[in-house]
Amino acid sequence: MEQIIDIFVRSVFVENMIFAYFLGMCSYLAVSKTVKTASGLGLAVIFVLLITLPVNYLLDRYVLSPGALARINPEWAAVDLGFLSYILFIAVIAAMVQLVEMVVEKFAPALYNNLGIFLPLIAVNCAILGGSLFMQERAYENIWQVLSFALGSGFGWYLAIVSIAAIREKLSYSNIPAPMRGLGIAFIITGLMGIAFMSFMGIQF
């Protein structure tokens, strides 16, 4: 239990997807002009992470990792399908996003109106694939740890995009040198926020 909380807190603050690894920067910069759309995209990212990470974890553990196929046929104990993980992870993500989009459209039209336009964007969001690859690299022990990692990194991403959107809303009233407007200042503010987030380094339970 302690470990699960530890993983959650670490992935929200210390190993924040945006401030420590810059994952999902493209949509982070493109969709952070107003708080409302930013929080829609943030929620969609949490949602998709929570669905794709456990699926990829099971796939990694029971199909891709070295020797996993011995369960089916003992002769395959030496088979290592690790090199296929990129292509399978991205296929799972693309398929899941498509599936989620259809299910949400059918059963929760109100939610679809809020999240709908962002869902296809998310299939190629680096934060999602990055989450799967980090999950594989860090070798979490069980599915609860993976779920906590998914929720934590999704929430960290949400926090980051909503706060930059709030800052950018205020920024439109300030007097910034012309070549710096838009992209330049967004980068620098993200950098400054990253420095602030570094003060969380070393937190653990």
Partner 1 sequence: MNKRIFLDPLFKNNPVSVLALGICSALAVTVKMEPALVMALSVTLVTGFSGLILSMLRNTIPDRIRIIVQLIVIATLVILVDQVLKAFAYPISKQLSVFVGLIITNCIIMGRIEAFALHNKPFHAFVDGIANGLGYGIILVAVSFFRELFGSGTLMGYSLIPEKWYVSAGGFYENNGLFILPPMALIVVGLIVWVFNARNAKKDKKAWNK
The footprint of partner 1 (CB under 8 A) covers: 19-26, 29-30, 83-87, 90-91, 94, 120, 123-130, 133-134, 137, 177-180, 183-188, 190-195, 198
- Yes or no: say if 81 and 64 are a contact pair by the CB < 8 Å rule: yes
146: helix, coil or strand? Answer: helix
Residue 72 vs 180, nearer CB to partner 1: 180
Give Cα separations from 4 to 57, 60, 144, 150 (angstroms): 16, 20, 7, 11
Give Cα separations from 113 to 35, 50, 85, 99, 108 (angstroms): 16, 20, 33, 16, 9
Least distance (Å) between residue 184 CB and partner 1 = 4
The structure tokens listed for 100 are 């989620």
Residue 4 vs 29, nearer CB to partner 1: 29
Least distance (Å) between residue 38 CB and partner 1 = 16
The residue type found at 108 is A
Least distance (Å) between residue 4 CB and partner 1 = 22
Least distance (Å) between residue 1 CB and partner 1 = 28
Residue 77 vs 192, nearer CB to partner 1: 192
